[in-house]
Amino acid sequence: MPPCVTVLIIGAGCRGKRYSYFAVHFPNRMKVVGVADPRAFARNDLQKIHSIDKKNVFNDWKVATERERFADAVIIATPDRLHKVTPEDCKEIVSVCAANNVMLAVCHVLRYYPASLKIKELLDAGAIGDICHIQHLEPVGFWHFAHSFVRGNWRNEAESTFSLLAKSCHDIDLINFWMGDKRCLKVSSFGSLSHFTNEHKPKGAASRCLDCSVEQTCPYSAKKIYLQRAEKGYFNWPVSVVCNSGVCDIEAVTEALRSGPYGRCVYECDNDVVSNQVVNMEFEGGATAAFTMMAFTERLGTRKTTIYGTKGELFCAGGGPVQVFDFCTREKTAYPTNKSAFIPSHLMGHDGADYYLMDSFISALTVSSLCQPCHKCRDFHNNRHSIKAAMVAEVPLFRHLIHHSTSPF
């Protein structure tokens, strides 16, 4: 039996707690042995769930680093500002890991999603010939955008980061992944913050949804997003994010909307990140990609991808199947994706991609410790060995996106 991987969780918020549940469902493969978080209720919650020894519970990640190593791996799930937001930050992380021979995995959940992998498998097998163009859409979801990018943690670039990095780094990563070894040479991008500005505030609207006389006609009403869910007994995300004290019931949600950030009128927030952005990319050999991030969508996170090749056209929406139209035979084939038969509900985030990510992460660590690389951990091994190359491609890309440049790099 492979050894059980011991893990320290840094940042016991949404992500840290969610990934920690892998240990609850697969106790032979992962054990959470430490937690660091300044919020007492968050770290105590994790301590209780995983029966963590008191001496391994910290109120700051820095305190945890003062101890001798006591875990095989660390999951870093702190707010963006604390771990990476600039190309320089990323370079430093990579070089420190390389110097200390530490395996580094970036949490690009969609790389481990069966639909993304099936697309990659078909492309590599030549199912559509040579790739000419990738068209990819990320629908953020109208209320999700209001929650995270107007009222929430990722609303303000100075406090967090720009929305393309916060939300769509996964999509830019997927485009690079599907393009294989072809490097991106040129980028152009435009984006804007539509609608969620003071000038769009409806007449008679109040500063808080609970006091607002026109709230019923507002799609972004906090009552609709949080209170109505809570009234139906639903207290998971996004309602759980609003109840920042650890107690999550109707009273706590109501109080949070009365006084906290999530009860604010969306037209009166300190948000500045863009709600819609397009990114055009040109790759070695001339292939192109067009990516759209869109806030104003019904669906949330159900990506749509069309890839145009010299011998066929590939299409996938959400989890698949992946459809391929063959120009030679004029036939369309639907390829099912290799979904796992069972995914624990705690790890169903990103349509189950949270589970696939953790499964691959723990496999990679386990196999790596046995020095027997296998198919499952291939991407994590590749990450470790080629992370520098990936950064060379991604870092200038993001720098160019920030400046909306069209010049080659």
The only residue of 5, 30, 37, 307 in contact with ligand NAD, by rule CB under 6 A: 37
Report in angstroms how near the CB of residue 15 gets to ligand NAD at its nearest: 3
Pick between residue 39 and residue 299 the one whose CB is nearest to ligand NAD: 39
Closest CB to ligand NAD among residues 241, 397: 241
Our CB check for ligand NAD shows the closer of 116 and 153 to be 153
Smallest distance, ligand NAD to C-beta of residue 209, A? 22
Please identify which residue in 5, 8, 15, 119 interacts with ligand NAD, judged by CB under 6 A: 15
Exactly one of 28, 53, 60, 403 binds ligand NAD (CB under 6 A); that residue is 60
CA–CA gap between residue 358 and residue 287 (Å, rounded): 33
CB of 27 to ligand NAD, least distance (A): 23
Structure-token match 């993304």, residue found: 116
CB 15 within 8 A of CB 166: no
CB of 137 to ligand NAD, least distance (A): 18
- Specify the residue, 287 or 387, whose C-beta has the smaller distance to ligand NAD: 387
Contact status, residue 114 vs residue 320, Cβ threshold 8 Å: yes
Span from 34-42, 121-129, 190-198, 200-208 in contact with ligand NAD (CB under 6 A): 34-42
Residue-wise over 148-161: b if at least 16 C-beta within 10 A, else e? Answer: bbbbbbbbbbeebb
* Residue 122: alpha-carbon gap to chain centroid: 24
Cβ neighbours of residue 303 closer than 8 Å, sequence gap 6 or more: 110, 136, 137, 138, 139, 171, 316, 317, 318
Residue nearest to ligand NAD (CB): 13
- Report angle CA 211, 213, 215 to the nearest 5 degrees: 85
**Gyration radius (Cα) of the chain, Å:** 22
Q: How far is the CB of 11 from ligand NAD (least distance, A)?
A: 3
Q: Which two tokens stand for residue 310?
A: 């010299």
Q: Which of 36, 122, 253, 293 lies at the binding interface for ligand NAD (CB under 6 A)? A: 36
Nearest distance from residue 61's CB to ligand NAD, in Å? 4
Contact 333, 326 (CB under 8 A): yes
* CB of 38 or CB of 408, closer to ligand NAD: 38
Of 21, 61, 145, 283, the one binding ligand NAD by CB under 6 A:
61
Which one of residues 25, 39, 208, 378 is an interface residue with ligand NAD (CB under 6 A)? 39
Verify binding: residue 124, ligand NAD, rule CB under 6 A. Answer: no
CB of residue 54 to ligand NAD, shortest distance in Å: 17
Q: Which is nearer to ligand NAD, 32 or 77 (CB)?
A: 77
Using the structure block, give the residue that is written with the tokens 């507002």.
218
* Residue among 299 and 311 whose Cβ is closer to ligand NAD: 299
Name the residue nearer to ligand NAD (CB basis): 13 or 312: 13
Quote the CA–CA distance of 253 and 255 in Å, as a whole number: 5
DSSP state of 210: G
Is 12 one of the binding residues for ligand NAD (CB under 6 A)? Answer: yes
Pair 318, 326: CB distance under 8 Å:
no
CB of 340 to ligand NAD, least distance (A): 18
Please name every residue paired with 276 in a beta bridge, in sequence order, or none if there are none: 192, 294
Site string for ligand NAD, 303-342 (x = CB under 6 A): ----------------------------------------
120-144 as b/e: b if 16+ CB within 10 A: bebbeeebbeebeebbbbbbbbbbb
Interface of this chain with ligand NAD, residues 217 to 276, rule: CB under 6 A: none
Binding of ligand NAD by 202 (CB under 6 A): no
169: nearest Cα among 103, 80, 284: 80
Q: Are 311 and 132 in contact (CB under 8 A)?
A: no
Q: How many residues of this chain interact with ligand NAD, rule: CB under 6 A?
A: 24
User: Residue 28: CA atoms inside 13 Å, Cβ hemisphere, count?
Assistant: 2
Site of interaction with ligand NAD (CB under 6 A): 10-16, 36-39, 42, 60-61, 77-80, 82, 107, 109, 153, 166, 350
